[in-house]
Each structure stands twice: as C-alpha cells, then as structure tokens.
A and B are shown apart, each in its own frame.
Chain A
C-alpha cells in the first residue's frame, strides 16, 4: 500500500486528458485515462466551450479512455437535448468493451448514437 502514499504516483493515476480537434464536419473530443466524478467537470467545461462557440456537431472518441463512471455519462445527458434542438448531435465512438458496458447498463444506446469508428460518426454528420 506504500505505492499510494506517494503523491507523485497519485497525481499520475488520476490523469484524465482531453484533446480537441476541429474536423470539417464536427468537433472531435479525444478522451484519455479515467473519467469519474473528479474528472467529469473537465469534460463538461470542454463541451460547454464548444457549444458556446456554436459547435453543435460533436464526436466523442473513447479509444483511449480506460474507465468511466456515471458522472462521466451525466456530462452527455446535460447537453444532448440542447445540441439536438439546434440541429446537432453528440455521437459517441470507439469505446472499449469495459466502457461500453457502463453505457449499456443504463440504456444509453437507446438515446445516443454510438458508433464503432470515428469515421462512421463523421460520415453520419456529413450526410
């Protein structure tokens, strides 16, 4: 248990990063690390920032996300109606099975467009 007493290790463990890229058809967010009640506010402000700039077509790429709890899922619930009302959407893509399980438990596939690949999500926005 000594491992967890080391502050530098603890900071490294709780790492969550977001990379944002503007594609011609949508704004894409790449999530990396662990998304929980501690890190979810970071994602919420990143998406809120894009929406405030009028970017309503959003793709969230989960390829490098290792973990999600319901606090992470809640972020998408906050914005989904708003972006759809303005003709946009939040499409979720490239989830690892462990991450998809959590979305599936709560019935999110019924409400959200979840695709296997980023290209698929971008193509849907283009059409």
Chain B
C-alpha cells in the first residue's frame, strides 16, 4: 500500500467536524423525542384502541419498518416538491427520521404495554389505589423499566445510523462534514477514520449518560458496553 496518512489537514478542520458532531447529536435527540411521542401514541392505540384505529397504525408500522429509512427520506426530499411542498434538507431529514423512529418505537413501547399484567393492576386495586394512582405508581414505572434498555439501544441506532443519512441530501452533520471537507483535498481516509472515532466517542458518551439516567430514574441496569 503506497498511501501515506497525513492527518495535519484534519486537525486544522477539527472545529468544523465538532460542529458536525453537535448537529448530529441534536438531530438524533430531536428525532428520538419526536419518534417517542409518535410511538407512545401509536402503541397506546394498538394496546387499548378500537380496531378501526389499530388498522392504520399497523399499516404505518409495517410499511415503515420494511422499507429503508434512506428511501423514505428520498421520498420526502425528491418526491414532495412535485406536490408543491418544498422542505429544507434538514426538515426532510428530521421529519423522515421522526416518522421512521416512530414506527420502531411503537413496536418497543407496545411490548412494554403488553408486559403489564392484569394481576399487577388487581394487586393495586386491592391496595385501594385510584386509577390515577395505579397508572402513576404501577403502570408507568413498570413500562419504563421494561422498555428502557431497548429505548436506550434505539437511541444509539438513530444517533448513528439515522442521522448519517442526512449527508446524502446535503445536511452538514458529522458524516456530511467529512464528505464536504474531504472532497476539497481528497484526504478521505484521514477524515473518515477520525470521524469514525468521533462517532465512537459520541455514542459512548450517550451510552454512559443513558445508563446513569436509567439507574437513577428507573433503577434499571442498561448496558454501556
């Protein structure tokens, strides 16, 4: 291999990569939060809603989870302008990721809803708790604890796999910055090895944070490694 690594140029532009990393984190957090709202709503519909409403939710989940996120985002980015809807790259990415995450989080949260057993609610009734108290002290903690590891894991997935799609429609997140910068001076390998490491560090920080949060808020042991 006659390739000499020259990292000097990468260090000079490290600031721009950091900007990209921050945008990556913001995009990941917003997509996850939006997806979690959709997931909560849809999972509740599947678990407790009438059939008429359950059907469209099922269609949404099956359609989204069986097609690539990239195609969904291309659809928004290249398809919607034909209907006169013109969103920015960032908006297309965010809306696409929120809809995508919503479907996966519906599946995760549905599993949580189904894991609450009737006997636990009955135990609550015997203790004389009101409906609100049952939900507050029994249902919510139980669901939170049972789905937290899967949710934390999915946050890493969306943070890594999800946001990097943005680079393909011109969003300057971490991968996008790497493409922009390296196409100037063709130091592709240097930029991408550094960016790969930055992703490792970024997700590692997120994992540690989530594990601490889980231990503090729900007393669950989420996996860092």
Tell me whether A and B are bound partners: no
Chain B residues near A (Cβ < 8 Å): none
Chain A residues near B (Cβ < 8 Å): none
